[in-house]
Amino acid sequence: MIVEYDCEARATYVSLSDDAPASQIEVSGDTVAVDLDSNGRPVGVEILLAPEDVTGEIIASIEALFPELGRSVASALAGAGFHAA
């Protein structure tokens, strides 16, 4: 898992695999979107916030649709030195 942060856009991207995204679904309004591969599996999560601004509520919104994904995203952010508030 790779965490990328674009400080100009204030956007965080957590890459879950090397597979190319085929579609995207919004998870939390216009703040969180999950990229899906052609089989509907998550390949990345885009969060339009700085990593330090990602809250437990945002992680929970991801987990609501993809139970296995919320913890992965939280772990990836923590591994990059950020923790959900």
31-45: per-residue pLDDT in tens? 899 999 999 999 999
User: For every residue of the chain, which 3-state class applies, written as one string?
Assistant: CEEEEECCCCEEEEECCCCCCCEEEEEECCCEEEEECCCCCEEEEEECCCHHHCCHHHHHHHHHHCHHHHHHHHHHHHHCCCCCC
Report the pLDDT value the prediction gives residue 84, as an integer from 0 to 100.
52
- The answer on pLDDT for 15 being more than 60 is yes
Of the chain, the percentage scoring pLDDT greater than 70 comes to 93
